[in-house]
Amino acid sequence: MSGSQIVAMGHYQPPKVLTNADIARLVDTNDEWIQSRVGIRTRHIAETETVDEMAAAAAEKALSASGHTAGEVDLVVVATCTAVDRSPSMAARVAARLGIAAPAAYDINTACSGFCYALATADHAIRAGAARTALVIGSEKLSEVTDWTDRSTCILVGDGAGAAVVTASTEPGIGPVVWGSAPELGDAVRIEGQPAVFSQEGVSVFRWATTKLAPIAREVCARAGVDPADLAAVVPHQANLRIIEPLVRQLGATNAILARDLVESGNTSAASVPLALSKLVERGEVPTGAPALLFGFGGGLAYAGQVVRCP
Beta pairing, strands 42-44 & 291-298: unpaired
221 is catalytic: no
237 is catalytic: yes
Catalytic hit among 20, 237, 240, 310: 237
68 is catalytic: no
**Contact assessment for residue 76 and residue 131, using Cβ atoms and an 8 Å cutoff:** no
**Contact assessment for residue 221 and residue 306, using Cβ atoms and an 8 Å cutoff:** no
Which residues lie closer than 8 Å to 282 by C-beta, 6 or more apart? 9, 11
Classify the C-alpha dihedral 96-100-101-103 as positive or negative: negative
Catalytic hit among 44, 81, 154, 267: 267
Catalytic hit among 81, 112, 154, 310: 112
Give the distance, in angstroms, between the CA of residue 105 and the centroid of all CA atoms in the same chain: 18
Query: What span, in angstroms and rounded, lies between the C-alpha atoms of 218 and 234?
Result: 12
| Residue 285 region by backbone torsions, left for phi larger than 0, else alpha for psi between -120 and 50, else beta | alpha
In this structure, the number of other CB atoms found within 10 A of the CB of residue 146 comes to 21
Classify the C-alpha dihedral 217-220-222-225 as positive or negative: negative
DSSP assignment string, 71-133: GG--EEEEE-S--S-SSS-HHHHHHHHHT--S-EEEEE--GGGHHHHHHHHHHHHHHTTS-SE
Q: Which of 65, 167, 81, 181 lies closest to 125 in space, CA to CA?
A: 167
Query: What span, in angstroms and rounded, lies between the C-alpha atoms of 256 and 293?
Result: 9
Q: Active-site residue numbers?
A: 112, 237, 267
